[in-house]
Amino acid sequence: MKMMQLGTRTLKNSKEFGSINATYLTRGAFIDMTMAGVYTFLPLGLRVLNKIENIIRKEMDEIGVELSMSALSSRQHWEQTGRIDHVDVLMKTSGANEASKNKSTNEYILNPTHEELITPIAKKFNKSYKDFPFAFYQIQTKFRNEARAKSGILRGREFRMKDLYSFHTSQDCLKEYYEKSKIVYANVFKKLGLGDSTYITLASGGDFTDDYSHEFQTKCKSGEDEIFLDKKLNIAYNKEVSPSKAENYEQDSQLKEMEDIRGENIKGMKELSEFLKLPYHKCVKTMIYEIDDQKVVAVAIRGDYKINEYKLKKILGCKILKLANEETIKRVTNAEVGYAGIINLPESVRVIFDDALENMTNFECGANKTHFHTVNVNWDRDVQRPDKFYDVKEAKEGDSNPESGDKFEVFAASEVGNIFPLNTKFSKALNYTFTDKNGEEKPIYMGCYGIGSSRIMGLIVEMFNDEKGIIWPEQIAPFKVHLIDIKSSENRAEEIYKQISDAGVEVLFDDRDVSAGEKFADADLIGNPIRLVISDRNQGKIEWKNRNEDKTELLEISEVMNRLKP
Amino acid sequence: MKMMQLGTRTLKNSKEFGSINATYLTRGAFIDMTMAGVYTFLPLGLRVLNKIENIIRKEMDEIGVELSMSALSSRQHWEQTGRIDHVDVLMKTSGANEASKNKSTNEYILNPTHEELITPIAKKFNKSYKDFPFAFYQIQTKFRNEARAKSGILRGREFRMKDLYSFHTSQDCLKEYYEKSKIVYANVFKKLGLGDSTYITLASGGDFTDDYSHEFQTKCKSGEDEIFLDKKLNIAYNKEVSPSKAENYEQDSQLKEMEDIRGENIKGMKELSEFLKLPYHKCVKTMIYEIDDQKVVAVAIRGDYKINEYKLKKILGCKILKLANEETIKRVTNAEVGYAGIINLPESVRVIFDDALENMTNFECGANKTHFHTVNVNWDRDVQRPDKFYDVKEAKEGDSNPESGDKFEVFAASEVGNIFPLNTKFSKALNYTFTDKNGEEKPIYMGCYGIGSSRIMGLIVEMFNDEKGIIWPEQIAPFKVHLIDIKSSENRAEEIYKQISDAGVEVLFDDRDVSAGEKFADADLIGNPIRLVISDRNQGKIEWKNRNEDKTELLEISEVMNRLKP
């Protein structure tokens, strides 16, 4: 393709966005921001997106059949599963003006995910055990009412996604397919050039399942997620669910005398630590929660940790979990807010003790008495050692995996895919059963499997770039070759352009009447893998340079054609 | 592909919809209705849609560059062009529940067309005369708040569309491109198998332009539009804009005496005609309108015609046009509603006389007197013959083209494409100019060009079917071959399936354990062009049948492979 036909040009002076992908993709004229989180894919960008989606499509065809579900659905679809009120990214549509409202007052849901649609479709066609397993997938635009959308195409209100849904007659069958999907996903990321940096990661099931889900997380400085990798067991966790064994500190062997110290208006760990001249890890925080049926629960945790509410919810097996209000805290602790501790709590209050507390001696905790902090607390002597300590803390750098004892490698990553064992959640809600060999009605097991294709495009830019621009992996580059004509005589560049095109090689020909410097800068910014320069200075040879290397070579056209062969 | 892998099956007993396309596409498992006007494309349907869109894409690549604009835009985009309040299919989005509204209270427009987005994009990249002309196109899902959506995928609230936008430095350049686009469009419809039945048709420019637009209308019994074709001039008009020369009736040569006849509560032409024993074409209807600045206008038209308000608006050059209310009619005619006529109207009321009235004698009209109808009215004697008669009537069967005198061929058709000369409408609204050779700022001329790809899929079903099902043209059929195994021994069908697949021929293999009759019925319903039957009865030969023929042939496998070669 000739650059003059693109209809776009690089915008080298466009403003810097908060993310590399937004900045480079905008400057390179791959995308254009309609508004925050909503982008147009310009001709160059659409080429990249299509290549990414075709790589995904090819792998998905191995395990499912493609269809394309409507973006709109009715409220009823979402009422049936009970998600209408609590999926917090759900958007609806309605007439935008009086004329439109007069035409139709209907409101529709703009689907952010398609369980509500695919389940009735599957149900319509497949009812007998002979029909299972099967899976449908689609690649299409999704809509989500995100609060913030500042990371370019890493997180959008409108974005492209592949979503696949599988249907099974047993949990074993689902599990088998689920494991197979991990392999297929790994192939996708390998083919996209992300194989080495992408980790299968355990994560929360969110709205979809009570089980763990699995995320495919690609290591990337600008990633929104924090991953805890146990290299020994080759297992990775999203911070939100990561188990955690705290770093141990040496403890006093001599038990000191317990003492209440007056300290008014000490707010937070920092002030407390400074006031008492104790490190965080000598302190115990006690947080009061309210759960189902207005039960009150206390959680005790080492001062250098936060509580992981995902873990806490699992331990308690509760649906509702919220920090108690002031009134409740006062009632339970007999003190103002800020002085909760683990000594002398009412018997009715269950206390969850984090396992980092187990070996502590002479520790601090709130005194359950306004203005007072108790120091040199010890197990058994001052407070009954619980039968069981729990891992209820948010994992942090330095922690180990309790299972292996290995210290986690912790890094930022971006989620490029996720898979969820839905089990019977949606089939039950939508009353989808099958008839087994004996004529009995049994529940269907489902899984869902997502890959964010536009996000992957952004992520690849975040990962593969230098100060001059993007460095596309060849398989998804807009063009393989970036051909530059520096005023060559007798249409030579044009001829070579034709020769390369005719050989079936994708080539972007910079045929513009601008300076060589501008052409070189644009080639680097756009980031096609091979740059060829045609100039009369090169005595009939062609200059070859790979985008990811500094060296240039002068080659005969025959050698160029030879190397370009697919 | 094997049928067992499709995940769908035919639904032969599903209900009959109001349109052939909805009925057959649903029964054949090509589409699934989410709700009225909103459909999922099931695996078979998506294959057809993709083929249609790829045919369109290939032709569009000749005249434009593909991109993909966001479906969402801001209200501001639509406020700038002033279309926010009067595009009556416009939809907006907002949070669907409290949790979502808490995340973001933003409202977005769900674009039914993309002039508001493409113009600023074009402007961002192209400002110099050297950059022109250029054109962008996209193929994507559009959203429109239609009042009714009952014709399957012929008219949807969510549908697929190709839209192209061209940009030019002069009207001449736009015109040249516009003419070229007609040729490209004709190629598209030819390649889709619709060439012989598709007509370039003059139509109203709607919201887009004051000029005529051009529609591509495919003759089809179930089409929503009525087309007036002048075969002599090879020009076709949409009824909404068709010129019309009325059929002439013999007129009395003897002028009779004018007379007011009392006829109370005569409502409408039918009652009037019966009461006065006059044919419709001897009567003149007078309608009172209000236009810009509350001016009142009367329109006189022969009794067997309706007024075409598009023509009337053009004649009057007005923006507002509405039927006058009761009060105004009473004031102007000095009578109750229903007795308006052309005699004795106030001088301030301009009367537009339709040209079918020109040669009438002894005609009837309202008396402008409650309960009275005047008969035997004649020009000059009773009412002043106007300087000019206008064509203000809605064309109907039997009319001729005033230009050629040729009688129109009138037929139903479905709009498969449309092109609009937008001229400077959007560039002016969005302040898009270019700099010419002399450094002067000048306006950009634009055109827009649409093709409804999902509608085309529906239309093709409407056109190519029989009582058994769909008859797909080969180029868009889901598969070329429908392979049926009738209990052949030794995996023979499986081997032949493999052989055909390996040859790169798309084949759907009915490997189900169902009766031969069911397999044949499904093959006819799904409508792939070639049906092959493998049965031990055929002594090693294969039965070949084209979907659109009755005859079957027994062929050697070598001959089958030979014929299947692309």
**pLDDT higher than threshold 70 for residue B403:** yes
Here the contacts of B555-560 (C-beta below 8 Å, separation 24 or greater) are B557/B496, B557/B499, B560/B500, B560/B532
pLDDT of residue B267: 83
Are the Cβ atoms of B96 and A98 closer than 8 angstroms?
no
Are the Cβ atoms of A136 and B7 closer than 8 angstroms?
yes
- Asked if A161 contacts A450 with a C-beta cutoff of 8 angstroms, the reply is yes
Q: Is the dihedral of CA B252, B258, B262, B268 positive or negative?
A: positive
Domain annotation for chain A: domains and CATH numbers: 53-69+112-243+411-461 (3.30.930.10), 259-377 (3.90.960.10), 479-564 (3.40.50.800)
Name the strands in the sheet holding A108-110, side by side, starting at the edge strand that comes first in the sequence: A72-73, A108-110, A91-95, B91-95, B108-110, B72-73
Q: Looking at chain B, which residue has its C-alpha nearest residue A7?
A: B134
Are the Cβ atoms of A73 and B117 closer than 8 angstroms?
no
pLDDT of residue A565: 87
**pLDDT > 70: percent of chain A:** 99
In chain B, what is the straight-line distance between the N-terminal and C-terminal CA atoms, in Å?
A: 18
Are the Cβ atoms of A99 and B117 closer than 8 angstroms?
no
Q: Which residues of B touch A28 (CB under 8 A)?
A: none
Q: Tell me which amino acid residue A441 is.
A: E
pLDDT of residue B488: 75
Q: What sections of A61-97 are H helices per DSSP?
A: 75-80
Q: Which residues of A touch B85 (CB under 8 A)?
A: 97-99
pLDDT of residue B163: 98
B433 Cα to chain A: minimum distance (Å): 16
- Asked if B135 contacts B446 with a C-beta cutoff of 8 angstroms, the reply is no
Mutation choice for B interface testing from A93, A101, A164, A512 by most B CBs within 10 A: A93
pLDDT of residue A541: 94
DSSP A96-130: SSHHHHHH----EEE-SS-HHHHHHHHHHH--BGG
Q: Which residues of A touch B94 (CB under 8 A)?
A: 91-92, 94
- Asked if B352 contacts B315 with a C-beta cutoff of 8 angstroms, the reply is yes
DSSP B206-259: TTT-SS-EEEEEEE-TT-SEEEEEETTTTEEEETTT---BPPP----SSPPPPE
Query: For A467-480, what is the mean pLDDT?
Result: 97
Mutation choice for B interface testing from A87, A104, A131, A166 by most B CBs within 10 A: A104
B99 Cα to chain A: minimum distance (Å): 5
Report helix, strand or coil for B392. Answer: coil
The residues, ordered by sequence, that sit 6+ positions from B295 with a Cβ below 8 Å of its Cβ are B350
Distance CA A308, CA B421 (A): 61
Q: Kindly report the three-state secondary structure assignment for every residue of B164-215.
A: EEEEECCHHHHHHHHHHHHHHHHHHHHHCCCHHHEEEEEECCCCCCCCCEEE
Which candidate, B507, B506, B414, B508, places its Cα nearest to that of B461? B414
Cβ-count burial of B515 within 10 angstroms (0-12 exposed, 13-18 middle, 19+ buried)?
Answer: exposed
- Asked if B354 contacts B305 with a C-beta cutoff of 8 angstroms, the reply is yes
> Which residue is it, tokens 């609204």?
B429
- Asked if A31 contacts A171 with a C-beta cutoff of 8 angstroms, the reply is no
Query: For A528-553, what is the mean pLDDT?
Result: 95
Mutation choice for A interface testing from B104, B105, B148 by most A CBs within 10 A: B104
Query: For A343-364, what is the mean pLDDT?
Result: 95
B167 Cα to chain A: minimum distance (Å): 10
Which candidate, B403, B477, B425, places its Cα nearest to that of B234? B403
pLDDT of residue B477: 98
Strands B296-302 and B350-353: parallel
Chain mean pLDDT for chain A: 95
**pLDDT > 90: percent of chain B:** 91
Q: Count CB neighbours of B547 within 10 A.
A: 22
pLDDT of residue B265: 86
Which candidate, B446, B545, B390, B416, places its Cα nearest to that of B134? B446
Distance CA B557, CA B566 (A): 16
The residues, ordered by sequence, that sit 6+ positions from A57 with a Cβ below 8 Å of its Cβ are A66, A139, A162
What is the per-residue pLDDT across A213-253, written as a single tens digit (0 to 9) for each? 999 999 999 899 999 999 999 999 999 999 999 999 999 99
Q: How confident is the model at residue B147 (pLDDT cuts 50, 70, 90)?
A: confident
**pLDDT > 70: percent of chain B:** 99
Q: What is the pTM for the complete model shown?
A: 0.93
In chain A, what is the straight-line distance between the N-terminal and C-terminal CA atoms, in Å?
A: 18
Q: Looking at chain B, which residue has its C-alpha nearest residue A160?
A: B70
Are the Cβ atoms of A7 and B135 closer than 8 angstroms?
yes
**pLDDT > 90: percent of chain A:** 90
- Asked if A513 contacts A541 with a C-beta cutoff of 8 angstroms, the reply is no
Are the Cβ atoms of B147 and A49 closer than 8 angstroms?
no
A479 Cα to chain B: minimum distance (Å): 15
Among A29, A65, A90, the residue with its CB nearest the CB of B7 is A65
Q: Looking at chain B, which residue has its C-alpha nearest residue A84?
A: B97
Query: For B77-90, what is the mean pLDDT?
Result: 93
- Asked if A48 contacts A117 with a C-beta cutoff of 8 angstroms, the reply is no
A317 Cα to chain B: minimum distance (Å): 24
Distance CA A183, CA A162 (A): 16
Distance CA A481, CA A488 (A): 18
Among A46, A65, A93, the residue with its CB nearest the CB of B43 is A65
Are the Cβ atoms of A102 and B88 closer than 8 angstroms?
yes
Q: Is the dihedral of CA B488, B491, B493, B495 positive or negative?
A: negative
What is the per-residue pLDDT across B221-250, written as a single tens digit (0 to 9) for each? 989 999 999 999 999 999 999 999 999 999
What is the per-residue pLDDT across B421-461, written as a single tens digit (0 to 9) for each? 999 999 999 999 999 999 999 999 999 999 999 999 999 99
What is the per-residue pLDDT across B489-519, written as a single tens digit (0 to 9) for each? 778 899 999 999 999 999 999 989 899 999 9
- Asked if A142 contacts A123 with a C-beta cutoff of 8 angstroms, the reply is no
pLDDT of residue A208: 67
Helices (H) and strands (E) in chain A, counts: 14, 30
Report helix, strand or coil for A21. Answer: helix
Q: How many CB pairs (< 8 A) connect A and B?
A: 224
What is the per-residue pLDDT across B330-365, written as a single tens digit (0 to 9) for each? 999 999 999 999 998 999 999 999 999 999 999 999
A256 Cα to chain B: minimum distance (Å): 51
Q: Which residues of A touch B109 (CB under 8 A)?
A: 96
* Most distant CA atoms of chain A, gap in Å: 96
**pLDDT higher than threshold 90 for residue A289:** yes
A38 φ/ψ angles, rounded to the nearest 5 degrees: -130, 120
Cβ-count burial of B119 within 10 angstroms (0-12 exposed, 13-18 middle, 19+ buried)?
Answer: buried
Distance CA B393, CA B305 (A): 6
B405 CA to centre of own chain: 27
Which candidate, B474, B457, B455, places its Cα nearest to that of B527? B474
- Asked if A286 contacts A341 with a C-beta cutoff of 8 angstroms, the reply is yes
Are the Cβ atoms of B69 and A158 closer than 8 angstroms?
no
User: What is the helix (H) or strand (E) element at residue B320, kind and residue range?
Assistant: none
Q: Count CB neighbours of A258 within 10 A.
A: 15
Are the Cβ atoms of B38 and A98 closer than 8 angstroms?
no
Strand partners, A217: A199, A415
Cβ-count burial of B472 within 10 angstroms (0-12 exposed, 13-18 middle, 19+ buried)?
Answer: buried
What is the per-residue pLDDT across A255-279, written as a single tens digit (0 to 9) for each? 999 999 999 988 889 999 999 999 9
Are the Cβ atoms of A43 and B35 closer than 8 angstroms?
no
Among B7, B38, B147, the residue with its CB nearest the CB of A104 is B147
- Asked if B31 contacts B45 with a C-beta cutoff of 8 angstroms, the reply is yes
Are the Cβ atoms of A42 and B143 closer than 8 angstroms?
no
Distance CA A239, CA B344 (A): 88
DSSP A236-292: EEETTT---BPPP----SSPPPPEEEE-TT--HHHHHHHHHT--GGGEEEEEEEEEG
DSSP B504-552: T--EEEE--SS-HHHHHHHHHHHT-SEEEEEEGGGTT-EEEEETT---E
Which candidate, A275, A286, A293, A393, places its Cα nearest to that of A335? A286
Which candidate, A119, A172, A176, A129, places its Cα nearest to that of A425? A119
Mutation choice for B interface testing from A33, A72, A114, A157 by most B CBs within 10 A: A72
Q: Kindly give the interhelix angle for B492-502 and B557-564, rounded to the nearest 10 degrees.
A: 30
Are the Cβ atoms of A121 and B40 closer than 8 angstroms?
yes
Are the Cβ atoms of A103 and B146 closer than 8 angstroms?
yes
Are the Cβ atoms of A104 and B41 closer than 8 angstroms?
no
Mutation choice for B interface testing from A53, A68, A130 by most B CBs within 10 A: A68
Q: Kindly give the interhelix angle for B43-60 and B453-463, rounded to the nearest 10 degrees.
A: 110
Q: How confident is the model at residue A539 (pLDDT cuts 50, 70, 90)?
A: confident
Q: How confident is the model at residue A207 (pLDDT cuts 50, 70, 90)?
A: low
pLDDT of residue B208: 67
Among A75, A88, A117, the residue with its CB nearest the CB of B40 is A117
What is the per-residue pLDDT across A429-473, written as a single tens digit (0 to 9) for each? 999 999 999 999 999 999 999 999 999 999 999 999 999 999 999
B90 Cα to chain A: minimum distance (Å): 5
Query: For B301-323, what is the mean pLDDT?
Result: 94
Distance CA A230, CA A233 (A): 6
> Which residue is it, tokens 């250098």?
A304
**pLDDT higher than threshold 90 for residue A205:** no
Q: Count CB neighbours of B491 within 10 A.
A: 11
Mutation choice for A interface testing from B10, B42, B111, B168 by most A CBs within 10 A: B42
What is the per-residue pLDDT across A111-121, written as a single tens digit (0 to 9) for each? 999 999 999 99
pLDDT of residue B207: 67
